[in-house]
Structure 1
């Protein structure tokens, strides 16, 4: 459902939030390595997130990326998706057809409609804090926490 950029954007927000809660800014390089994304691609994603006021970029020797604690608690997956992919993430056909609609449905349109509604509700109500909390509680993990 999400583009690769969006997946990386969600992971980046979790990583930045985890560090921000520890009062630590993180560099582009740290973020890219932690979410397993090419640095140049991560830079573009972080630029969109900063422009959308999801995260903040601080210049200088003590610079890096951070997220305000209030935003960690209120920013949802939906907010991140809208900044990176826009509305198309919620309106596109599951089979990628351009003219899929209620009037001209694709073969799985009606079956997928309820799943799509449930998914949209989940991403609307799941905050960055919820995801960080899952990682901190050990119920979920990011690549950065895997034991290798």
Structure 2
């Protein structure tokens, strides 16, 4: 459903949010390692997230990526998905047809429309703070063991 870039972006912002809650900035090498993503690919994703204002960065010895603590509960997953994949996940056809719509629907259109709407609702109501807290408590994880 999400592109590989978007999956990595979601993992990265959760990891960054978790570290931000601990008042730590993290470098892209550490992020790439934690989310099992190639470093160059991770750097491009982080650059895009930074440009969109989802994450911030500071250069230098004590630098790295972070999210201001006051914003962690205000940023939701929909913002991350939209910044990487655009509207595609919110309005694409379940069968990948380019001209599927209300007037000319594919066989899955109505059922997939419900799934897309539920997904949008979940993404819009899930904050980074909620996900980072699961990671912090050890209830969730970001990479396969």
TM range (shorter): over 0.9
* Length, aligned pairs only: 145
Cα deviation digits, residues 8-46 of structure 1 (max 9, x gap): 101000001111111111111000010001111111110
What is the CA–CA distance in structure 1 between the aligned matches of 2:129 and 2:108, rounded to whole Å? Answer: 34
3-state secondary structure, aligned to 1:57: strand
What is the CA–CA distance in structure 2 between the aligned matches of 1:133 and 1:62, rounded to whole Å? Answer: 24
3-state secondary structure, aligned to 2:116: helix
> Where does structure 2 lack aligned partners over 5 or more consecutive residues?
none
Task: Please report how far the alpha carbon of residue 89 of structure 1 lies from its aligned counterpart in structure 2 after TM superposition.
Answer: 2.2
1:44 aligns to what? 44
What is the CA–CA distance in structure 2 between the aligned matches of 1:8 and 1:83, rounded to whole Å? Answer: 12
What is the CA–CA distance in structure 1 between the aligned matches of 2:112 and 2:85, rounded to whole Å? Answer: 20
3-state secondary structure, aligned to 2:53: coil
Is 1:16 aligned with 2:39? no
Task: Please report how far the alpha carbon of residue 139 of structure 1 lies from its aligned counterpart in structure 2 after TM superposition.
Answer: 2.8
1:100 aligns to what? 100
Task: Please report how far the alpha carbon of residue 104 of structure 1 lies from its aligned counterpart in structure 2 after TM superposition.
Answer: 1.3
> Where does structure 1 lack aligned partners over 5 or more consecutive residues?
none
* Structure 1 length-normalised TM: 0.92
What is the CA–CA distance in structure 1 between the aligned matches of 2:5 and 2:37, rounded to whole Å? Answer: 9
1:63 aligns to what? 63
- Structure 1's consecutive aligned runs of 4 or more residues displaced over 4 angstroms after TM superposition are none
